[in-house]
Amino acid sequence: MSSQSKIVTLPGDGIGPEIMDAAKALMTELGGIEWVDHDLGGVAIDNHGKALPDETLAAAKASDAVLLAAVGGPKWDSTNPDDPRPEQGLLGIRKGLDLFANLRPVKPIPALYASSPLKEERISGTDLVVVRELTGGIYFGDKSRVDDVATDICAYSVTEIERIARIAFKSARTKVTSVDKANVLETSRLWRETVVRVHQEEFADVPLDHLLVDNAAMQLVSAPSEFDVILTENLFGDILSDEAAMITGSIGMLPSASISGDGPGMFEPVHGSAPDIAGQGIANPLAMFLSTAMMLRHGLDRAADAARVESAVDSVLDGGLRTADLGGDADTASVTNAVLAAL
């Protein structure tokens, strides 16, 4: 085994390059990681004419892990279906690496309870993870636009549901809550039936319940600490994970891991490219650091270093340092230096 892990870094657009620089400083401090930058998203459209260049996907496939900052921005916004969009790069690399499982942990840090729009007594003790199916459903079904009618097909197969359900049951500490819309959607009825069967056959000891997605959206803000693992399909997981992010006070805090059966995983903050503050050096790098920690844990088998990074982030917040999104005035560089010092 080579002592250096070889990862692909995708700085992307907006604040992406700034927070990726922060992650590189962190990786230099930790050691044992080599990276090479590739284009994805808007920057790839500008440089190569498409959001996911072939060389980016090939390099990602050959890597030990992929670290992504953020893609997208108003420069590439268009409703013309023929125009390339930065998001196609993200969806393409998810599909290309078969990253079917997206893990989004939500654990508010006590020092930030006051930054959440929810009352402290509601959020305290929350420690949940959204396990989102990432390569199926309405995101990837056939799309059409004929005259003044548009369609997006939502399709799921038993195999796709089984493999994401297994990830959820394996991630559970106390229970799995499967979220669907089985009172309306056929894909949701197949989802529920399959989750129930996988549970009975393989994970009968893990408590399982089911919630309809509208009810889940409500429970997430009324009683978030009741959840452990939320298992859900692609679109519901997209929406619920943004909602869950606000429990932590800022979407700037949330990391995510996207994993496949065996190939490299991809690790990225849940937040976007924040074009409004790009280039000012004031972006919050913490979700990027926490994503690097998830890469260390899930992608590079370095759980102890992952925990070091996570406690360094905690201690910096405990010390009161805050970027603008958290109501403070610290810039990216000072938060980065503080985290490195706290390692």
Which residues sit at the interface with ligand IPM, rule CB under 6 A? Answer: 87, 90, 238
Name the 3-class secondary structure at 146.
strand
Part in contact with Mg ion (CB under 5 A); list of ranges 193-201, 233-241, 281-289, 290-298: 233-241
Strand-by-strand arrangement of the 255-259 sheet: 33-37, 5-12, 65-70, 265-269, 255-259, 101-106, 128-133, 229-232, 176-180, 208-212
**242 carries an active-site annotation:** yes
Instruction: For the CB of residue 87, give the shortest distance to ligand IPM in the complex, in Å.
Output: 4
Please identify, using beta-carbon distances, which residue of 199 and 271 lies nearer to Mg ion. Answer: 271
Instruction: For residue 133, state whether it binds Mg ion (rule: CB under 5 A).
Output: no
Please identify, using beta-carbon distances, which residue of 25 and 91 lies nearer to Mg ion. Answer: 91
Mind giving me the DSSP string for 208-234? EEEEEHHHHHHHHHH-GGG-SEEEE-H
Instruction: Give which of 340, 293, 290 is closest to 316, Cα–Cα.
Output: 340
d(CA 231, CA 104): 11
Instruction: For residue 268, state whether it binds Mg ion (rule: CB under 5 A).
Output: no
Binding partner at 21 among ligand IPM, Mg ion, none, C-beta below 5 to 8 Å by kind: none
d(CA 88, CA 3): 34
**113 carries an active-site annotation:** no
Instruction: For the CB of residue 190, give the shortest distance to ligand IPM in the complex, in Å.
Output: 22
Catalytic residue among 214, 276, 301, 329: 214
Instruction: For residue 238, state whether it binds Mg ion (rule: CB under 5 A).
Output: yes
**147 carries an active-site annotation:** no
How many other C-beta atoms are found inside a 10 Å radius of the C-beta of residue 57? 19
Chain position whose Cβ is nearest to ligand IPM: 87
**214 carries an active-site annotation:** yes
d(CA 60, CA 38): 9
Please identify, using beta-carbon distances, which residue of 21 and 238 lies nearer to Mg ion. Answer: 238
Binding partner at 65 among Mg ion, ligand IPM, none, C-beta below 5 to 8 Å by kind: none
Catalytic residue among 21, 39, 180, 238: 238
**238 carries an active-site annotation:** yes
Q: Which residues touch 39 (CB under 8 Å, ≥6 apart)? A: 10, 47, 48, 53, 56
Part in contact with Mg ion (CB under 5 A); list of ranges 44-52, 93-101, 212-220, 232-240: 232-240
Tokens of 275: 């074009």
Looking at the DSSP bridge assignments, the partners of residue 221 are: none
Binding partner at 90 among ligand IPM, Mg ion, none, C-beta below 5 to 8 Å by kind: ligand IPM
Catalytic residue among 242, 314, 318, 331: 242
Distances in whole angstroms, Cα of residue 139 to Cα of each of 15, 156, 218, 237? 25, 11, 24, 12
Please identify, using beta-carbon distances, which residue of 190 and 230 lies nearer to Mg ion. Answer: 230
Binding partner at 87 among Mg ion, ligand IPM, none, C-beta below 5 to 8 Å by kind: ligand IPM
Burial 248-276 (b: 16+ CB within 10 A, else e): bbbbbbbbbbbbbeebbbbbbbbbbbbbe
Instruction: For the CB of residue 206, give the shortest distance to ligand IPM in the complex, in Å.
Output: 26
Name the 3-class secondary structure at 191.
helix
Instruction: For the CB of residue 85, give the shortest distance to ligand IPM in the complex, in Å.
Output: 9
Q: What are phi and psi of 121, to 5 degrees?
A: -65, -20
Active site residues: 139, 181, 214, 238, 242
Residues contributing to the site for Mg ion (CB under 5 A): 238
